[in-house]
Structure 1
Amino acid sequence: MDVPLKKPASDGVIAPRPWARPDRAEAEAAVRTLIAWAGDDPDRDGLRDTPRRVTEAFGEFYSGYDADPSALLERTFEDLGGYDDIVVVRDIPFSSHCEHHMVPFVGKAHVAYYPGEAVVGLSKLARVVDVYARRLQTQERLTGQVVAAIDETLKPRGIAVMIEAEHQCMTLRGAHKHGASTVTTQFTGVFRDDPAEQQRFVSLVRSG
């Protein structure tokens, strides 16, 4: 049965997807096919319930497709008490899946901004990272999407995002380079314009 799905038309607005989502039975049948292709019997005792478990896990891994990150940032607070300096949330743990091989990459995100007219609850920044991470991703896109969501909603004077992650497509297959990590950064506003602000951000991230 074709079930309409939603995805963001942009990074925030959720709109109908232009394709039909397979139903649960079709998804489980696909897992059975992959088990057989891998060389095992999908009907043996240890694997009989694996298709169900895999589809349930996928529902959790990729739950970010049905979440609107912009909605997380809609509630803001304008009483800043005169505060106009940097806000940093560092060491936000996340796990995502590489869109090229569908294997995990795991790491930490560090998010900072200079408030404009409002601030947002700190947990909401972590949840924005999580929403985008729970999609098929590249680290570069994930970094840019977090920046774009914050910029669109809060309109801050500047944003800095750094993501550090280890990609299992490098450690478990291919190059087999265990321990290699990837770092991506993106800056807007005062961070982009002033290298000293970039250095300050990195120093605050590393000071822990």
Structure 2
Amino acid sequence: MDQSDRPSRSEVEAAFRTILRWTGENPDRDGLHETPKRMARAYEEYFRGYNEDPEAILSKTFEETEGYDEMIVLRGIRFESHCEHHMAPIIGRAWVAYIPSGRVVGISKLARVVEVYAKRLQIQEKMTAQIANAIESVLQPQGVAVVLKAEHHCMTARGIMKPGTDLVTSRMLGCFRDNPVTRQEFLSMIA
């Protein structure tokens, strides 16, 4: 979306005031008077991923690896996202792996890429693919594997109301897709 098409801060706050009125509340009462401003700030935080470039995050790499060409796995990266259908929270963990081809990236960059995509309206399948595709595009490793496991509040706290249910998605590229032994080694590390 073009920045000129974005509503102003005051328009966003007015929209939140309308939502509060719609629920039956009075947005002018003491406890809610500042809520539209707080909600606007919260939504800026929830969706800050639209202002970040995951490929730029991954672009600083290190080539002095002494030939290291084994699997690199960052496990259990906690993330919070929101589903694009109900804007309900998605709370989960990500496991990200790659086998380098001559260069590696700082491990915090892998967590930041997960965070960038999580801080956008999402469906988990798309987010899984986006993370893997960005790593493959920038690092050009021998392979990439991404697994996400998350609870979707659109299903656990509303609708069908099935708390404790989680969704698991995966994306395997390169040697993780082509070599069952490599895939199994990765999957054994995330169990």
Superposed pair shares fold, TM > 0.5: yes
1:195 and 2:153 correspond: no
Q: Which runs of 5+ in 1 are unaligned?
A: 1-6, 8-16
- Picking from 135, 156, 169, the partner of 2:154 is 169
Q: In structure 1, what is the Cα distance between the partners aligned to 2:117 and 2:142?
A: 23
1:40-61 per-residue CA deviation (whole Å, 9 max, x = no partner) reads 1111111111000000000100
Aligned residue for 1:45, secondary structure, equals coil
2:169 aligns to what SS in structure 1?
Answer: strand
Instruction: Choose which of 23, 26, 32 in structure 2 pairs with 1:47.
Output: 32
Provide runs of 4+ in structure 1 moved above 3 Å: none
* Per-residue deviation, residues 13-57 of structure 1 (Å, max 9, x unmatched): xxxx27611111000000000011111111111111100000000
Of 23, 26, 29, 1:38 maps to 23
Tell me the TM-score normalised to structure 1 length: 0.90
2:132–2:144 Cα contact (<8 Å) kept: yes
Q: Pairwise mapping of residues 58-69 of structure 1 onto structure 2 (< 5 A)?
A: 58-69=43-54
Provide the secondary structure at the position in 1 that maps to 2:161. coil
CA distance in 2, matches of 1:179, 1:199: 26
Gaps of 5+ in 2: none
What CA distance in whole angstroms lies between the structure 1 residues aligned with 2:14 and 2:146? Answer: 40
Name the counterpart of 2:170.
185
For normalisation by structure 2, the TM-score amounts to 0.97
CA contact (8 A) 2:69 2:102 kept: no
Query: Aligned letter for 2:42?
Result: A
Q: Identity of paired residues, percent?
A: 52
- Offset of 1:76 from its aligned partner? 0.6
Which shifted more, 125-134 or 190-199? 190-199
Q: Output aligned runs, 1:55-204, within 5 Å.
A: 55-204=40-189
Which has the larger strand fraction? Answer: 1
Quote the RMSD (CA, aligned, Å).
1.1
Task: State the AA in 1 paired with 2:56.
Answer: A
Residue 117 of structure 1, CA deviation: 1.9
Letter matched to residue 46 of structure 2:
F
Instruction: Give aligned pairs, total.
Output: 191
